[in-house]
Amino acid sequence: MVDIDRSVKTYYEQNQLSEEQLQKLAAMQDKATTAQQKVSTAQQHVPPKQWLRRSALAVASIMVAVLLFIVSGQNDVGIAERVAQEVAMNHNKALAVEYQTDSYDVLSQRMNKLDFKLRAPTAAFNEGLALIGGRYCSIQGELAAQIKMVDETGRVYTLYQTRSNEMLQVINADRIQSAQVNIRLWHEQGLLFALAETGE
């Protein structure tokens, strides 16, 4: 038994690490500890998930705002053309008036579902036209009035009025032809006006 103990002791004494090997091992341990501390410090500075979500939402909001700005700038003409198409379609239907009168005030009182007061357009757009009456319609989802008028020759015109909401405000005064209908678009007193006549 003593021989075995002595053999084991001798074996370990012979296979003991040298001073140089011990120093290398200690240096490796120091490097590993330093690296672990750096990782731990970096983890402490990682932003919490909530901050990351807020940052992502802020970036997304900015991108959406920029996109809307670009799209609204490009769609000024697009919305005017869509309005003109809708006006031309309504004009070509030639539906009878629901409220017959020659007074804008009376027509406005009768068409009380509108959240605005009907107005006679300025003389430049109204000259030589006589009011016959009106009916409800819509322009781009907004409740509107379709007002029927005639000139001295009996030629029929339809005038459309609706509130100038954010989408419609970008429309510039313009003349557009759609489905053989000549249409003039303009704004007055917070309303969008469209005057339609069948083209020749």
Mean pLDDT, residues 150-155 taken together: 93
Given this model, what pLDDT does residue 187 score? 95
Walk across the sheet containing 99-100 and list its strands.
Answer: 99-100, 130-139, 142-150, 156-163, 191-198, 181-188, 174-178
pLDDT tens-digit series, residues 60-79: 767 666 556 555 554 455 99
AA identity, residue 169: Q
Mean pLDDT, residues 156-173 taken together: 94
Given this model, what pLDDT does residue 75 score? 47
141 or 21, which is more confident: 141
40-46 contacts at long range (C-beta below 8 A, 24 or more positions apart): none
42 or 157, which is more confident: 157
Is a pLDDT exceeding 80 seen at residue 10? no
CATH of 75-198, one of 3.30.200, 3.30.160, 3.40.630, 1.10.3470: 3.30.200
56 or 141, which is more confident: 141
Is a pLDDT exceeding 90 seen at residue 136? yes
Specify the 3-state DSSP secondary structure of 163.
strand
Given this model, what pLDDT does residue 33 score? 74
CB 171 within 8 A of CB 79: yes
Given this model, what pLDDT does residue 25 score? 67
Is a pLDDT exceeding 80 seen at residue 160? yes
* Domain residue extents for the chain: 2-71, 75-198
Is a pLDDT exceeding 90 seen at residue 32? no
What is the DSSP code string of 1-67? -HHHHHHHHHHHHHTPPPHHHHHHHHHHHHHHHHHHHHHHHHHHHSPPHHHHHHHHHHHHHHHHHHH
**C-alpha distances out from residue 102 to 120, 149, 170, 186, Å:** 11, 9, 31, 23
Is a pLDDT exceeding 60 seen at residue 119? yes
Q: Give the percent of the chain with pLDDT over 90.
A: 56
Other Cβ atoms within 10 Å of 130 Cβ, number: 12
Q: What is the mean pLDDT of the chain?
A: 82
Given this model, what pLDDT does residue 155 score? 94
Mean pLDDT, residues 74-96 taken together: 87
